[in-house]
Amino acid sequence: MSTHEILIFATRQVNIYFGLSIMILGVIGGIFNIIIFTTLKTFRETTCAFYLTAVSVVNIIQLLIALFVRVLSDGFSTDIKKTSWVCKIQIYISVWCNLVSTTYVCLATIDQFLSMSHYRRFSNLRLAQRCIFITGIFWGLYSTCSLIYWDAPFGICMIINSNFATYVNRFQLPILYGVLPLTTMITFSLLAFYNARTLISRQINIVRLSRDRQLTVMTLVHVVFVTITTLPYIIYFIYLLNQTTNEREQIARNNLIYTILVLILYSSYAGSFYIYSCVSKRFRQQLIFVISNACIKQYQQWTNKRGNNQIAPGIEIIGDI
């Protein structure tokens, strides 16, 4: 095999094994996030956790549709993205989920900052619900441009309008995907972290104090992870814009590097649950509590269905963590 063929083969294998691993682990982690954030009372009453729940839902959609289509097309060499409507839908979902997910993370960091400041009144579930709805609709309308200007005229999913291609390359990818959300996330997560460190000196309920500090650490590390996984892709994409080559081997090498960085970018949608589990002991305890609670309820249902007259031992479930 020539070097060119080896690079193409390596790109396919990376798409298959790395891409499928990210998708499977990400969906599992996202489901666990949703279960924990919606089951425990301490999170159900918290606006920041509400945003993180919405982030998990959007990330699962991104992984199941956009990433899965990419793996099928680029990993297994199917013709699925060569179909016009598949190309349009995959790009639309990818753009919408990317913008919505990053915006929700930005809103979560802003909310966490507000909840520990003098502007706490702006941190409420009613406002959060409106923000999530408006954001989803706004980016949904914005992403319709992808349905218009993306197509597969030669069996390659590509932008068919040169002006829109310039806009995507010069503004959408570097600014909307990179500079703007990352700057917002980093700024407000650091402000929230600073406020969390000063909470101990205030007269604040110990339960709220523990919850706010936990969520602040979780969002801060989440932002760091998103930054680490996003910046390499943005930087390399800008580098490719200034590269012009017709060498097959160099093009294949660029495609391999680009594929790896795209999948690393996708890991930002898949890694939040594992990041939270690593950095927060309380989150791990909450995970164990939710799993054990579910197992106990399942056991009680099973014993109640038994067709004998034995009395199953009662098991008391202690309240929220």
Supply 5's token pair. Answer: 């063929």
Per-block mean pLDDT, blocks of 10 residues, the chain (321 long): 87 94 96 93 88 96 94 85 90 95 95 85 90 96 94 88 91 92 93 77 60 86 94 89 80 92 94 94 90 82 66 46 57
Domain annotation covers residue 317: no
Does residue 40 sit in helix, strand or coil?
coil
Does residue 315 form part of some domain?
A: no
Q: What is the pLDDT of residue 199?
A: 63
Range of the domain at 108: 3-294
Please check whether residue 274 lies inside any domain of the structure: yes
Residue carrying structure tokens 């034995």: 310
The pLDDT value given to residue 192:
87
Q: What is the pLDDT of residue 208?
A: 63
Could you list the beta-strand ranges (E) of the chain.
Answer: 150-151, 158-159
Instruction: Please report, for residues 51, 125, 130, 309, the alpha-carbon distance to residue 271 in angstroms, rounded to integers and kept in the order given.
Output: 16, 25, 27, 48
Quote the pLDDT of residue 318. Answer: 41
Q: Report the pLDDT value the prediction gives residue 310, as an integer from 0 to 100.
A: 52
pLDDT reported for residue 109: 94
For residue 210, what is the domain's CATH number? Answer: 1.20.1070.10
Q: Would you say residue 99 lies in a domain?
A: yes
d(CA 200, CA 100): 34
pLDDT of residue 123: 85
User: In this structure, are residues 257 and 11 in contact, taking their beta carbons and an 8 Å threshold?
Assistant: no
319 domain residue, yes or no: no
Tokens encoding 31? 């489901």
Burial class of residue 300 (count of CB atoms within 10 Å of its CB; 0-12, 13-18, 19+)? middle
Q: Give the number of domains in the chain.
A: 1
Q: 65 with 189: CB under 8 angstroms? A: no
User: Per the domain annotation, does 308 fall within a domain?
Assistant: no
Q: Is residue 306 part of a domain?
A: no
Instruction: Provide the 10 A C-beta neighbour count for residue 63.
Output: 24
Say if residues 271 and 225 touch (Cβ distance below 8 Å).
Answer: yes
Q: Is residue 22 a contact partner of residue 270, using CB atoms and an 8 Å limit? A: yes
